[in-house]
Amino acid sequence: MASLDLRQSSTLHSLVCQSILVLLCLVCYGYGGLSGAKFVFDDTVAIVKNKNVNSLPTNWTAIFSHDFWGAPLLSADSHKSFRPLTTLMFHYEYALLGLNAAHMKFLNLVLHCVNTLLMWRLVRSLYVEDIDIERWATLSAALFAAHPVHTEAVSGVVGRAELMFGLIHLLCLLLTVASADKPGVSSVILILLLTGVGMLFKESAITIPLSCIMLDYFQNGTYMLPLKLQQRVITRRLRYLCYICGMLSLLLLRLWWQNFEAPEFKPVDNPIAHNEQLLTRGLSQQYLYVVNFWLMLCPQWLCFDWALGCINLVTSIWDMRLQAVIAFYSFIIVALMNFRRLAGLMLGLALMVIPFLPASGIIRVGFVIAERTLYVPSIGFCLVSVYGFLYCYQNYAGNRYCRIALQTLLMLLFAVFMLRTRQRAAEWLNEEQLFSSALQVCPNNAKVHYNIARLATDNGNSSRAFHHYLKAVQLYPEYESALMNLGNLYREYGQLETAEKYIRAALAAYPAFPVAWMNLGIVQSAQKKYDQALDSYRQALKYRSDYAVCYYNMGNLFLEQHQYGEALHHWQHAVAINPRQPKAWANILTMLDNRGMYEDALRISAQALTQLPNEPSILFIRANVLGKLKHYLEAEALYKQVIELEPRNMLYHTNLGVLYHRWDKLEEAIECYQTAISINSSRATTARDNLGKLLRRLNRESPKESQQ
């Protein structure tokens, strides 16, 4: 009876702990993940603009041959971040629930809850001497649940890759603990299979076998043996050999899939990796390790992008920041010297370092610091931190006041972390808050200013866009994207010479920049420099042969020169490359309409609508053609459809009025003309003229009717 009560009490305790952990996750992330969430920063490229995610039916070939950002894996532009299962998750969410950030972030939150519970279960299953395992498990998992550094992984949708890596990583560690005393390699095979699956979510999963080796090393008590005997046991342990061979095989397979090609990143993405001085690269990289550790230790300064201007290079051994590096490695050395006595601490350090290896600079990466890459390493950090706290707490067991002080500090830490996480999650709700918060952390980061300017341009705030683009160029004069966008902004204001100057500066910084070549062509076309514009467009196509937007602009260039056949050909080429190119479809249909080729216009508009079923410009032109062919009912339905999509478009109401005018539905025509005039009276000249003619006609007809 007593044992039954004990089991029930233990079960109740477990349920309470798990409930508290889930509640912690919900309290910290529910606000940022569920309330008015939008796609922000990298979400736009990886999800919103990624055809592999938001196109139906499922293109399996593209998903397994393109990188995470939608570019072909073997192209020069690819970042080689091959995560097809993550992309597939996004795709099926889109297919089932639509392109909505809220439900995608909710799933991220669910995965974070699951990972928190798995971590709790993992630590409870460990055997570590001189530590209260239940406290270690609960406090470590609680710290993991509330840690602010996880906000980017949980509140940014693209953090799904990290969350899935964390999930599979924890499952493999649990399998390792469960099979620690069991002979055979079945668990090893299962872990290697899970590692392969994990690599299809995030490449960093290649480190999972190393983590499993370290966990097995501590769980089997190998670390307690003399060093020579340890070496003999490790070299003869079959499962370790299987882990290493399997890991190397998976790595080779992964490199083979990308044709053993390395990604090419720009200096603006990672200035440390591109620095030519070996000493500067080495010292700066060591300092980065300290900064990453500090972000987990004190997550006050969090930024969506640490690329350029956030961290100055360490160029000399006399740089005072190296004191932090010395302190960091001193801590590690002391831990190594006491690894038998502090086994839990060493295990935590191993689980912190090993998953971080792919982001540690041993291979060139496209970022300086990426907070979401700390999601899985923070598992080890939480173990180390709580182990240190409990070590102190147990050593002061006889001092009541010290224990109360430690308890108070711990509760204060959790309160501060929860508040900081909620604050950071709120900043990830939309790009305006996210980018503005970065200025407080990295005011000299050119990429932060660039993103603020880009967002201001999208919102129509040109003065703010000019200010931040100029600031970005001032901070980094060779920032090709900022130079090009600044040129585009000047073009919109008619300052074509200034626009050309900045776009040429972008090309001087990066000659193989197809978008800049195309924009230079647009500026030259506006200046009537048609031959130069054509050369610029051809340069763009030289660097990107499948550039649909460039073919569209070439068509516009030929149209300006009245070369209608060439214009039509290039627009057709544009939609052949990218069928979801509404402007090219609209230009094709307009040309066919103007030439009186109505049947061709109807046929091609039907093709266009299979790709863009709710595109107003295509529906509008099709309605115009149907009206000219006196298919009034079909035309009326399409006009009403486009008006429902864009109710404030004056032209749509005007043309519906023209249709009713032809159809002799005069009252409806008058109503449509009046609506068009009310929307924009200064530009609704056609509606005003037609309304006047119609009213004069009615006035002439009314006396005749009275005489009859």
Residue 283 or residue 700, greater confidence: 283
Q: Which of 497, 527, 545 is where one domain is finished?
A: 545
Task: Report the C-alpha gap between 579 and 94 in whole angstroms.
Answer: 20
- Least confident segment among 10-19, 199-208, 251-260: 10-19
What's the mean pLDDT in 400-417?
91
- Least confident segment among 63-67, 91-95, 237-241: 237-241
What's the mean pLDDT in 99-107?
90
CATH of the domain at 531: 1.25.40.10
The alpha carbon of 572 is separated from its chain's Cα centroid by a whole number of angstroms, namely 32
Query: 488-493: long-range contacts at Cβ-Cβ below 8 A with a sequence spacing of 24 or more?
Result: 488/519, 489/457, 489/462, 489/465, 491/519, 491/522, 491/523, 491/526, 492/462, 493/462
Give the closest residue to 441 by CA, choosing from 550, 301, 569. 301
CB atoms within 10 A of CB 704: 8
Q: Are residues 339 and 486 in the same domain?
A: no
Q: How confident is the model at residue 532 (pLDDT cuts 50, 70, 90)?
A: very high
Q: Are residues 520 and 373 in the same domain?
A: no
Q: Are residues 498 and 534 in the same domain?
A: yes
What's the mean pLDDT in 345-369?
88
Q: Are residues 393 and 495 in the same domain?
A: no
Q: Are residues 141 and 187 in the same domain?
A: yes
Query: What is the per-residue pLDDT across 50-61, written as a single tens digit (0 to 9) for each?
Result: 989 988 888 999
pLDDT of residue 323: 94
Q: How confident is the model at residue 226 (pLDDT cuts 50, 70, 90)?
A: confident
Q: What are phi and psi of 493, to 5 degrees?
A: -95, 10
Q: Are residues 230 and 196 in the same domain?
A: yes
Radius of gyration from C-alpha coordinates of the chain = 32
Q: Are residues 122 and 157 in the same domain?
A: yes
Q: How many domains would you assign to the chain?
A: 2
Considering the domain boundaries, does residue 408 fall inside one? Answer: yes
What's the mean pLDDT in 349-376?
89
- Listing DSSP states for 237-271 in one string gives -HHHHHHHHHHHHHHHHHHHHTTTPPP---TTT-H
- With a pLDDT cut of 70, the percent of the chain lying above it is 97
Q: Which of 545, 579, 608 is where one domain is finished?
A: 545
Q: How confident is the model at residue 699 (pLDDT cuts 50, 70, 90)?
A: confident
Q: Are residues 381 and 293 in the same domain?
A: yes
Q: Are residues 419 and 485 in the same domain?
A: no
pLDDT of residue 32: 45
Identify whether the C-beta of residue 55 lies closer than 8 Å to the C-beta of residue 170. Answer: no
Q: Are residues 290 and 179 in the same domain?
A: yes
pLDDT of residue 132: 86
What's the mean pLDDT in 287-311?
89
Domain that holds residue 489: 445-545
- Sign of the C-alpha dihedral, residues 23, 25, 27, 33? negative
Query: What is the per-residue pLDDT across 486-514, written as a single tens digit (0 to 9) for each?
Result: 999 999 999 999 999 999 999 999 999 99
Considering the domain boundaries, does residue 452 fall inside one? Answer: yes
Question: Mean pLDDT highest for which of 10-14, 27-31, 610-614?
Answer: 610-614
- Least confident segment among 4-18, 494-508, 596-610: 4-18
- Beta bridge partners of residue 702, listed in sequence order: none
pLDDT of residue 234: 82
pLDDT of residue 702: 63
Considering the domain boundaries, does residue 600 fall inside one? Answer: no
